[in-house]
Chains A and B, each alone.
Chain A
Amino acid sequence: KQEVTQIPAALSVPEGENLVLNCSFTDSAIYNLQWFRQDPGKGLTSLLLIQSSQREQTSGRLNASLDKSSGRSTLYIAASQPGDSATYLCAVDSNYQLIWGAGTKLIIKP
């Protein structure tokens, strides 16, 4: 059974710092891996999708990597801003389902 874990559960850093969020999964037979952000009381916004055959994807200040063999993904956020404050969720597409991590709550202090 696929399980997804995110570390840390919460992170608070000063504005301008670069940071890394971690995601690990137990079964490497995945279709893709996606990173989302969720703002309080809102739905989910897709940030990056990495196909199982890919190693990384980039969008603006965000870079996500995927190492399927070790069951790990990282989301790198460069030059963090207060507007980046949100909960970041990692999800693995496995057998028609997205299996979700519990999320990392990120606070960027001005």
Chain B
Amino acid sequence: GAGVSQSPSNKVTEKGKDVELRCDPISGHTALYWYRQSLGQGLEFLIYFQGNSAPDKSGLPSDRFSAERTGGSVSTLTIQRTQQEDSAVYLCASSPSRGYEPQHFGDGTRLSIL
């Protein structure tokens, strides 16, 4: 596809379960970003990948959160032992390189923890 694709678009799960969110960036984009948008919290940075490496993991809220990127393409964000405060829209973005080009966003995954 032409844009950033995220799946699933919606996920409802019970507290304590693990979830995996997927991001397919635009082909050829080396930089990939994950953000979280919570009600009342605004947008917050989670993690950034350059290729398969993550130079900055400082935004991950706890050690329950992890992310990986393989083949310089698809990325997965995993949340273990989900808590209700993890409920949010998780947004993925990609850009050809960091800083010089705008980031292109997917439509997000709306995660609801019951």
Question: Do the beta carbons of B91 and A98 come within 8 Å of each other?
Answer: no
B107 within 8 A of A: yes
CB-CB under 8 A for A43 and B42, given A49-B102, A95-B56, A98-B35: no
CB-CB under 8 A for A96 and B42, given A32-B99, A46-B102: no
Question: Do the beta carbons of A102 and B42 come within 8 Å of each other?
Answer: yes
Closest chain-A Cβ to B3's Cβ sits at a distance in Å of 9
CB-CB under 8 A for A46 and B99, given A97-B48, A97-B56: no
Contact with B along A81-102 (1 / 0, CB 8 A): 0000000010101011111111
Count how many chain B residues have C-beta atoms less than 8 Å from C-beta atoms of the other chain.
25
Residues of B at the A interface (CB closer than 8 Å) are 4, 33, 35, 42-45, 48, 55-56, 58-59, 91, 93, 98-108
Chain A binding surface, main DSSP class: strand
Question: Do the beta carbons of A49 and B55 come within 8 Å of each other?
Answer: no
Count how many chain A residues have C-beta atoms less than 8 Å from C-beta atoms of the other chain.
23
A-B contact pairs, 23 of them (CB 8 A): A31-B99, A32-B100, A36-B105, A42-B107, A43-B105, A43-B107, A43-B108, A44-B91, A45-B105, A46-B102, A46-B103, A46-B104, A49-B101, A89-B43, A91-B43, A96-B55, A96-B98, A98-B35, A98-B45, A98-B103, A100-B42, A100-B43, A100-B44
